[in-house]
A and B are shown apart, each in its own frame.
Chain A
Amino acid sequence: MDRRKSIKTLLIGAAGTGVLAEACKEAGKKETGPLPEASALNDRMQEEKEYLTKLNDGDTFFTPHEMKAITLLSDIIIPADELSGSASQAKVPAFIEFIVKDMPEHQTPLRGGLRWLNMLSAKQHEKPFTDISDQQRLALVDLIAYPDKAKPEYKQGVSFFNLMRDLVTTGFYTSEMGVKDLGYAGNVPNQWNGVPDDVLKQYGYAYSEKELKECIRYDQQG
């Protein structure tokens, strides 16, 4: 596929059409300008680029203190283990900062939830959540991390923690580290030859004669 060739054809097609050529000029300019090779934003339309710039150039939403609490909570929710690293190692807190700007509906539940947690911490320890010991933090989290066991007076905390669990889990498992942890094996060019034999066997399935006859089969060398 020769992109330049197709642009040339486009322009030739428009040549001699007077005002049409003029109408196409702006688009034409953009087309024939320096082509950003493999630009990460090639797939974005203009309005999306402007929106992204606005988000990235705008104010930071969370205060440093809030971000510290988010980071602590993130690593409680997804700590490092033998298979993969922690939420903060996967830059989940930065993802949460971005996502609340992209989805403002998360702003108040998170900001308010963090304040709710700080108030609980202050009541029990006279210090905010960030300043108590690891053990004290886990004890507080235990009060709100199990919806079916939590006391009624902690239900708002449960809602906040459910949202944090959602965002941290999704942020981690959509990061490079998290996808590897999960073992998602796709998003690579390949030729589908069906379910691996050992898996078919494990579940007691086999392709029927009709399927084997009618379905595409690729040479494994290919």
Chain B
Amino acid sequence: MGDFQIKKEVKKYDAVIVGSGAGGGMAAYVLAKAGLKVCLIEAGPNYDPAIHSSQMKNPWESPRRGASTKFRPFGDFDGCFWGWQIDGEPYTMKEGSDKWDWWRARMVGGRTNHWGRISLRFGPKDFKRRSIDGLGDDWPISYEDVKPYYDKIDQLIGVFGSNEGLPNDPDGIFLPPPKPRLHELMIKKTATGMGIPVIPSRLSILTKPINNERGACFYCAQCNRSCKVYGDFSSSSVLVKPAVLTGNIDLITDAMAREVITNSEGLATGVSFIKKTDGVEYQVSGRVVILAASTCETARLLLNSKSDRHPNGLANDSNVVGKYLHDSTGAAIGGVLPQLFGRKRYNEDGVGGMHVYTPWWLDNKKLDFPRGYHIEYWGGMSQPAYGFGFGMQGLNGKYQINGKTKPAGGYGASLKEDVRFFYGAGVGMAGRGEAIPNINNYCEIDPNVVDKYGIPVLRFHTKHADYEIKQAKHMKETFKEILHNMGAVITWGGDDNADNNYGLSNPGNIIHEAGTVRMGSDRKHSALNKWSQAHDCKTLFCVDGSQFVSQADKNITWTILALSMRTSEFIIDEMKKQNL
């Protein structure tokens, strides 16, 4: 870093957006297409999947054969820069907290470069949970408010799926889904026989081309690496790139936002940031400031933006900023299907992710936990990577291999036979459930710690409640039954019990965190109004997961996109009316 300097930018933008993931990318896209001048600030480097993706690399093209590093916790080919830890950017836990896992991406497009593309609409009930079970809070909006935007993004971005007419898993405007793989047919047959629905998954992957800018899926199963032909949704390729092409956007990369700047009236007028490449401090100004830095980073920015008018941090008259932090619940299990031992080889890569899934199917009134979960499935003959073949001594003594009984372990030609025999027989499933937002689960500014840029860091305090633990128990029981009924042998995740919360993942670990700057009609108990606009600062909007009141048993990206589009159109409208 050079000498300390602060530079104020003279150009005034219509909007300054912090973060280029799903929320920020969509805001940048909508505003730039409408002709507004936008400054888009991103903490990481530029990233274009067409150039920077590891797609189609073979395992031997990674010196660590695709293993994880701190730079790529989901593997060396994964399309996300950084993850659970970032050098020089610590975060802390408050005493008495469960371990909070915080995933942070630093790149244009953020986590959308590697996400699972699971693109689920919230259903009508998901916006009104308090009215149904008395827990948490209702959203200030309903499904009918968001539906037009879901419809628009289905068409703008593309998503495959099937219309099933389910009451709380709404139909959409879907591309045709891919046919199930073999293990998925087996799961479907078994689960359906148990009364558990298994339907085509809903992933934002193009089984057919939808425009001339993006190619169609060519079935390499590597969506997590990001797609060089833009055959799936990443904010980098689908939103930021076309937004920048309008000429209305200045994209500033490697820029770590420090504070939202406010004027004497308390209105947000810009953002200060440090440019990582030269260490210089900059300030940019805009008519509105739109935060989409990710659920917790957005809260951090607001809490670090204190002023005489906003002594408690910006948008925080209600004192809820940072609170109600919640993630999807998660529990998983895996095994092998002996009927698939020694199976015939063929290319079953398919799309990146499952071709079928299970939406929540039960009535919580008849259960001892209040909210549902969906089930994700995997298995089959995938590309080997680091870890492939590990633990053979736990497997090869248990089954006849091509008619022979062998002692566990071993080596040599016999070991090679074993590896070939077991390949492609794996199967697994995971639940992703809704947690109840809780005021006692929060992030706050650690009073003692700063990151390497001198920005005060977040300290987390989160704890699982009984609701979530009971839900995980139900997941595990259900998964075991499905696996048992389909003749699988459980190899991991089958021994969880009350001592380890039935294998319930750490909060944050599922990377669906939401709720820290929630919207609501009551300004005493919420930070934003129904337009994602701060109650106490009309020029400040939050369009990422932070605005969520609750997150349903659905992955939240599709709703982030829909709400960001809705808010962006509201901003354009309000600007036209001279209200902003």
Contacts and interface: CB of A to CB of B under 8 A. Distances in A.
Interface in B52-72: 52-54, 56-61, 63-67, 69, 71-72
Interface stretch (B250-258, B503-511, B568-576): B250-258
Interface string A55-73: 1000000000000000000
Contacts of A211: 179-180
B7 interface: yes
Nearest to A81: B413
A24 interface: yes
A213 to B, nearest CB: 9
Given A166-B391, A184-B383, A146 B60 contact: no
A190 B350 CA distance: 9
A146 B408 contact: yes
A182 B59 CA distance: 13
B64 A102 contact: yes
Interface string A168-186: 0111011110110111111
A43 B54 contact: yes
A169 B407 contact: no
A217 B72 CA distance: 35
B409 A174 contact: no
Given A81-B416, A161-B409, 16 more contacts: A19-B7, A45-B107, A51-B71, A55-B63, A78-B415, A158-B409, A170-B387, A174-B386, A182-B423, A183-B423, A187-B222, A189-B220, A205-B189, A214-B162, A215-B178, A215-B200
- A16, A175, A205, A215 — most chain B CB neighbours (10 Å): A215
B388 interface: yes
Contacts of A27: 45-46, 253-254, 277
Given A98-B63, A203-B182, A148 B408 contact: yes
Given A77-B415, A169-B390, A185-B345, A148 B409 contact: yes
A205 B81 CA distance: 41
A119 interface: no
A45 B81 contact: yes
Given A194-B179, A214-B176, A169 B415 contact: yes
B280 interface: yes
Nearest to A3: B51
Contacts of A195: 179-182, 185, 346, 348
Interface residues of A, number: 88
Contacts of B389: 166, 169-170, 173
A216 B176 contact: yes
- A9, A13, A55, A194 — most chain B CB neighbours (10 Å): A13
Interface stretch (B241-249, B445-453, B515-523): B241-249
19 contacts: A10-B244, A13-B244, A13-B251, A43-B53, A45-B107, A52-B63, A99-B386, A147-B409, A170-B388, A174-B59, A184-B382, A186-B221, A186-B349, A186-B382, A187-B222, A199-B182, A199-B346, A200-B185, A216-B208
Given A148-B408, A192-B219, A171 B65 contact: yes
Contact of B182 (A9, A84, A205): A205
B385 interface: yes
Interface residues of B, number: 108
Nearest to A26: B277
B502 to A, nearest CB: 28
B177 interface: yes
Contacts of A18: 9-11
A51 B63 CA distance: 12
Interface in A99-151: 99, 102-103, 141, 145-149
A191 interface: yes
Contacts of B349: 186-187, 190, 192
B220 to A, nearest CB: 6
Nearest to A98: B63
A156 to B, nearest CB: 15
A102 B69 contact: yes
Complex A-B, nearest 4 residue pairs according to Cβ-Cβ distance, in ascending order: A169-B389, A194-B179, A186-B349, A183-B345
A102 to B, nearest CB: 5
Given A173-B389, A189-B218, A183 B420 contact: yes
Interface of A: 1, 3, 6, 9-10, 12-14, 16-20, 23-24, 26-27, 31, 40, 42-43, 45-48, 51-52, 55, 76-79, 81, 83-84, 95, 98-99, 102-103, 141, 145-149, 158, 161-162, 165-166, 169-171, 173-176, 178-179, 181-196, 198-200, 202-203, 205, 207, 211, 214-217
B410 to A, nearest CB: 6
Contact of B252 (A20, A175, A190): A20
B113 to A, nearest CB: 11
Given A9-B247, A13-B249, A102-B67, A187 B392 contact: no
Given A48-B69, A48-B71, A189-B220, A76 B411 contact: yes
Contacts of A179: 58-60, 383-384
B278 interface: yes
Contacts of B7: 19, 23
Interface in B198-219: 200, 207-208, 218-219
B393 interface: yes
A13 B52 CA distance: 22
Contacts of A79: 412-413
A183 B423 CA distance: 9
A165 B511 CA distance: 34
B39 to A, nearest CB: 8
A145 B410 contact: yes
B386 A170 contact: yes
